[in-house]
Amino acid sequence: MLIVTAAIAIPDSELVERFTRADGPGGQHVNRTESAVELRFDVAGSPSLPDKVRERLLARKDRRMTDAGVLVIQARRFRDQARNRDDARERLADVLREGTVVAKKRVATKPTRASKERRLVGKAQRSQTKRTRSRDWSRE
């Protein structure tokens, strides 16, 4: 059981783990052990997630989310499988916790008169600077 929040818990039956050989250092033993973990969680089809959380997670532009709504997390940070497995589960819980946070609605504002004037003064100064850099080719 993966505990995400006090209200959300994901049963192990909804998580699909696949173990593969990790790249990177490891000596002679690296080609024989499958220490990297690929953790898959079906966000779109999970009955454990509330509808609002599911909608927020599916709406995110996350490269780890497939078109079918499956979240794929790969963990190969450590050399042993157990630590990579715990790392993948913790990262999944972090992503799901981010989905529980409701984003603040942006309030549209207008620039103040002073900020408009500062912008125009800055543009005039830059224009003057560039004008003084140029040569007057008509005199030559």
pTM higher than 0.85, yes or no? Answer: no
Beta strands in 46-107 (DSSP E): 70-75
Q: Are 85 and 38 in contact (CB under 8 A)?
A: no
Given this model, what pLDDT does residue 46 score? 86
Given this model, what pLDDT does residue 40 score? 93
Given this model, what pLDDT does residue 1 score? 81
Which alpha helices (H) appear in the chain, and where do they start and end? 51-59, 81-100, 113-133
Given this model, what pLDDT does residue 102 score? 87
Instruction: List the chain residues with pLDDT less than 50.
Output: none
- CA 31 to chain centroid, in Å, comes to 31
- Amino acid 78 reads F
Given this model, what pLDDT does residue 25 score? 65
Nearest to 113 by CA among 105, 101, 121: 121
Given this model, what pLDDT does residue 30 score? 65
Q: Which residues pair with 37 in a beta bridge?
A: 19, 75
3-state secondary structure of 66: coil
User: Residue 65: which residues within 8 A CB-CB, separation 6 or more?
Assistant: 43, 57, 58, 71, 72
Given this model, what pLDDT does residue 35 score? 83
